[in-house]
Structure 1
């Protein structure tokens, strides 16, 4: 869901959507047999991969917007509960419930009273939750990340006529993207970038193999 930062999508959300799109397209390219596949098989794979990721990009964006709508409604309900709390202790307890434990433990009664006072001065939430422009931009971002992550992996099949080198180039691009996604995620989370990138390649390969084996 959107955070309080200026980013519409957090780094974690961006990487997650790219990984989702990558794994989806790899289930198509990974199921292609180098020994038996012809140009018609490649064409069918390309249509299937692009069509599948287009559909899932729409679905994922729709669920993102549904999540935003739910969160907006929950935030409005929480604000009303705090503003209508019968006593300061109840208001402080509701605020503490939505804060990280270490943050809540660091706040004293005066801090909670100041937060409660501020929340009572902000604009009242709408009776019914709605989607903001930021939410719609986030949904568009989700759609584009899932859908566009298809193309780097399938482009070799469009420009390289021989299937074997096209497959090798496609796999190399996919592994590089998986590694890059893990690397960036690790830097954001304070983990070890190289190890996380390599782990992401392994996890991605396992997930793709499982999806293909299960008929995905």
Structure 2
């Protein structure tokens, strides 16, 4: 396996299927590495001529070998965790990391935040639930082991309470996006975070959404 490559960015091109390919020159050899747009922006903003280190995952198929590149070993490890889930391919895993970023994606999985996970292109409610179910415990332990930071705005009510509130609000006709915004707003209140009554969260969420 190739753990990482360290070299100079020669070019970043968009392939015919809209995938971003980094051309990284290492010892006069140009490696093609598929990367997410988040990493492409970081590399484009880096105007220095210094070498960059790209952590890689090599996928070997019968007809081709594909290198996937990441900004950190933690991102690469999360990618590997995602593709271990049934029905999650490499492109969906890259989209997940690209859309939410490492800390927010891990936090969403660990807390079972389905409204956040369905923001990922190609991920519906059932797929989001499967990702959370299969990876929640693994990623909670992994996050602690590798020291992945918790997002500053990640305070939310406990999982069981959140699910009760979300299900009730969905039944009342609110969208996933509206529910997530309401819960995020209410979670800024330290008194609400101490409140374990679902009915109070529902009542306050409706009041917030009615503003």
TM score, norm. by length of structure 1: 0.23
User: TM-score if structure 2 supplies the norm length?
Assistant: 0.24
Higher normalized contact order (CA 8 Å, seq sep 6+, divided by chain length):
1
- Tell me which structure has the larger Cα radius of gyration: 1
Determine which structure has the larger strand proportion and give its number. Answer: 2
